[in-house]
């Protein structure tokens, strides 16, 4: 008969043994140290300075002092001495300073947390998963970060979501109070679609990007709100144009650009004033160092001709501005005034609203150069009722050919 038990090596009380209590107490001491095993630490290679009775440690590799040769064994401080408890395969120990459960596998102490979770049918984090939602998470914040190159990763992070075929749906559904409000993804085809709903039942397609990038479409009026500079900027590398508008309707209406202007703020708009631009088109070139801006370039401006008053005053005008060669600032060249007059160089009418040409007026003394030929002017102080003059390249002449003098 052996002297100790097979697994815990508890000493047996032998037949006719004297002082049986010693053997019995030794067995109890071992049981007290091993049952419900909880150690204080597993990183020490030498005994601590002032252990308390009953303290237990898993001895780290490279043990010294009283623990020499006890690598990976359990050390129990009892009755003023260290007791060695060699582990057996399957022993479990709770490491108090790490809040970690370990198991001895015959070669070392390993974590009971599995290294991999494979083929789980349900997984719930903070909530209970069910067959309809086999992966369910309930939390307030989440973080996903790439594995860095210093950790053996690539530094990138990419989500891969896959559907079986083009006819299936792959989407992200956003809900409020368990009622759908927005959905984006591949819904029934391979175009990227964004849909919205006010109630979770009636859905509208807000944006569609064709799978071949040939078109970006919106089936709803789209408003872009910004409080800082450009609301939309498009850079086109190649191609015949930037904008194309097509309208399908059983009527004469064509695609229309609308420009709206208000003073004040979005929350408290105010009436426009004379000279405010309601809609503008400007063109700027690249100088070799930068793109021009501000008063350079060419402009086509639709403006308010007066301060607006609700119900009575909505006057408008159109102005065209260009920049002369060798200049850096544009000037007004043509204006269609609120009266309907066609004006040039400011408020100088050349054709009035009645479609009559209006000649620029001079006196005989203030006539401009007669070059080039073919200019027509009105001479306000012409003699013998002669008022219109034409330039021949050298002189101004009356309609009868006489030189104006």
CA-based nearest residue to 174, from 166, 184, 188:
184
Question: Which pLDDT does position 184 carry in this prediction?
Answer: 97
Question: Which pLDDT does position 8 carry in this prediction?
Answer: 59
Sign of torsion, CA 50 55 60 64?
A: positive
CB 85 within 8 A of CB 104: no
* Listed range (21-25, 152-156, 388-392) with the worst mean pLDDT: 21-25
- For residue 165, CA distances in Å to 162, 168, 189, 191, 273 come to 9, 6, 8, 13, 58
CB 208 within 8 A of CB 217: yes
Q: Name beta bridge partners: 102.
A: 93, 111
Which residue in the block uniquely carries the two structure tokens 């007004």? Answer: 332
Give percent of the chain with pLDDT exceeding 90. Answer: 70
* Listed range (193-197, 249-253, 322-326, 393-397) with the worst mean pLDDT: 249-253
- Does pLDDT of 1 surpass 60? no
The tokens for 305 are 């001709």
Question: Which pLDDT does position 115 carry in this prediction?
Answer: 73
Long-range (24+ apart) CB contacts under 8 A made by 287-291 are none
Question: Which pLDDT does position 39 carry in this prediction?
Answer: 94
Question: Which pLDDT does position 285 carry in this prediction?
Answer: 94
- For residue 109, CA distances in Å to 97, 101, 207 come to 15, 10, 57
Contacts of 312 (CB under 8 A, 6+ apart): none
CB count, 10 Å around CB of 168? 12
- Does pLDDT of 222 surpass 80? no
In this structure, are strands 123-125 and 135-137 parallel, antiparallel, or unpaired? parallel
Tell me the pLDDT tens digit for each residue of 270-315: 999 999 999 999 999 999 999 998 888 999 999 999 999 999 999 9
The predicted model gives 51-73 an average pLDDT of 95
Cα 41 from Cα 147, distance rounded (Å): 30
Residue 219's pLDDT band (cuts 50, 70, 90)? confident
The predicted model gives 175-204 an average pLDDT of 96
CA-based nearest residue to 75, from 54, 90, 50, 61:
54
Long-range (24+ apart) CB contacts under 8 A made by 275-279 are 275/303, 275/304, 276/303, 276/304, 277/301, 277/302, 277/303, 278/302, 278/303, 278/304, 278/316
What mean pLDDT, rounded, does the chain reach? 90
The predicted model gives 136-154 an average pLDDT of 96
Residue 7's pLDDT band (cuts 50, 70, 90)? low
Question: Which pLDDT does position 35 carry in this prediction?
Answer: 76
DSSP state at residue 7: S
pTM: 0.58
């Amino acid at each position: 008969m052996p002297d100790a038990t097979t697994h815990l090596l508890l000493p047996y009380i032998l037949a006719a043994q004297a002082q049986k209590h010693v053997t019995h107490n030794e067995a109890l001491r071992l049981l007290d140290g091993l049952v419900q095993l909880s150690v204080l630490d597993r990183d020490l290679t030498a005994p601590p300075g002032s252990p308390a009775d009953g303290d237990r440690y898993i001895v780290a590799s490279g043990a010294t002092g009283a623990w020499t040769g006890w690598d990976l064994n359990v050390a129990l401080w009892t009755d003023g001495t260290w007791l060695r408890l060699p582990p057996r395969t399957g022993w479990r120990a709770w490491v108090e300073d790490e809040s970690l459960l370990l198991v001895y596998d015959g070669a070392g102490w390993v974590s009971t947390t599995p290294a991999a979770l494979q083929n789980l049918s349900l997984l719930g984090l903070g909530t209970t998963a069910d067959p309809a939602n086999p992966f369910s998470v309930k939390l307030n914040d989440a973080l996903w970060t790439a594995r860095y190159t210093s950790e053996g990763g690539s530094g990138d992070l990419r989500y891969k979501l896959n559907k079986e075929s083009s006819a299936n749906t792959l989407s992200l559904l956003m809900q409020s109070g368990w009622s759908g409000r927005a959905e984006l993804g591949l819904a029934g085809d391979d175009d990227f679609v964004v849909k919205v709903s006010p109630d979770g039942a009636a859905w509208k397609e807000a944006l569609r990007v064709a799978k071949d990038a040939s078109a970006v479409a919106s089936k709803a009026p789209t408003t872009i709100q910004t409080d800082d500079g450009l609301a939309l900027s498009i850079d086109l590398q190649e191609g015949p144009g930037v904008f194309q508008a097509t309208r399908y309707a059983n009527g004469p209406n064509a695609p229309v650009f609308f420009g709206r202007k208000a003073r004040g703020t979005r929350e408290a708009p105010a009436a426009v004033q004379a000279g405010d631009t309601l809609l503008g088109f400007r063109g700027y070139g690249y100088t070799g160092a930068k793109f021009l801006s501000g008063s350079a370039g060419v402009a086509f401006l639709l403006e308010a001709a007066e301060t607006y008053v609700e119900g009575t005053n909505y006057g408008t005008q159109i102005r065209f501005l260009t920049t002369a060669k060798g200049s850096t600032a544009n000037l007004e060249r043509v204006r269609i005034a609120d009266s309907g007059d066609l004006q040039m160089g400011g408020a100088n009418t050349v054709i009035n609203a009645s479609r009559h040409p209006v000649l620029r007026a001079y006196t005989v003394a203030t006539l401009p150069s007669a070059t080039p030929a073919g200019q027509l002017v009105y001479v306000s102080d012409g003699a013998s009722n002669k008022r219109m003059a034409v330039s021949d390249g050298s002189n101004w002449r009356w309609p009868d050919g006489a030189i104006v003098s």
